[in-house]
Amino acid sequence: MNQEQMKQTAAEKAVEHIQNNTIIGLGTGSTIQYALEKISERIQKENLSIQGIPTSNTTKKTAQHLNIPLTTLEEHPTIDLTIDGADEVDSNLNLIKGAGGALTREKIIAYHSKTLIIIVDDSKVVKSLGMNNPIPVEILQFSYTATQHCLEELGCTTTLRTIVNEPYITDNGNYIIDCEFPRIPEPEALEMQINMIPGVVENGLFINMADMVIIGGKQGIHTLEKAIVQ
């Protein structure tokens, strides 16, 4: 299996978890594209009745194109199941997300979901978070230099995300600072420290949020599930 096939296999497995008459959070990214296609197929073939809540304008457009019925968090504040991708996954099911720039809406949707399933190919699995990716931090444009300095004081090197030499603007009208940490020994504490800085909207550490990670590998699918603490 090549990388695209691994993504597709993981995505299709996740879509099997969708039940009739449910509200589904729709993540963002290239892996989610495969899930959207499969959801659309199940709607047509099985008459599956679901409503999706997209995590980005891009996903919203794709879902509309694929005739997936959509709703909003205002109408449905509790989501049954969200399927989303990730940039890094560790063995505790903690994640780095946001390479696609949708981290804030993704985290809001994840927070309001009864179940969060993450789909990745095996290149996303890491021993410790931050090994291959910076932590994206969405910040207000107002005061962005001051906010960037505060982030650097946490021990990272920062880069303002750009696109065609202009600052990248999120769906919420904000900037993203990518923060590269030499190591992240305590991701849970760091997630909170980052969000304490005024001007920070949200960061891409998703700690204790995922219930299941479906990993597509060369040999097939491997699933990590959250341990249930009694």
Minimal distance, residue 190 CB to ligand 5RP, in Å: 17
Pick the catalytic residue from 12, 88, 106, 138: 106
- Binding footprint of ligand 5RP on the chain (CB under 6 A): 27-31, 84-87, 97-103, 106
Q: Are 199 and 143 within 8 A, CB to CB? A: yes
Minimal distance, residue 56 CB to ligand 5RP, in Å: 7
16 vs 30: CA distance, rounded Å: 19
Active site residue 106: yes
102 vs 190, beta carbon nearer ligand 5RP: 102
Minimal distance, residue 133 CB to ligand 5RP, in Å: 9
Q: What one-character-per-residue DSSP string does the chain give? A: --HHHHHHHHHHHHHTT--SSEEEEE--SHHHHHHHHHHHHHHHHH---EEEEESSHHHHHHHHHTT--B--TTT-SSEEEEEE--SEE-TTS-EE--TTS-HHHHHHHHHTEEEEEEEEEGGGB-SSTTSS-PEEEEE-STTHHHHHHHHHTTT-EEEE-EETTEE---TTS-EEEEEE-S--S-HHHHHHHHHTSTTEEEESEE-S--SEEEEEETTEEEEEEPPPP-
44 vs 111, beta carbon nearer ligand 5RP: 111
36 vs 150, beta carbon nearer ligand 5RP: 36
CA distances from 61 to 34, 47, 53, 68 (A): 15, 22, 12, 10
Residues with active-site annotation: 106
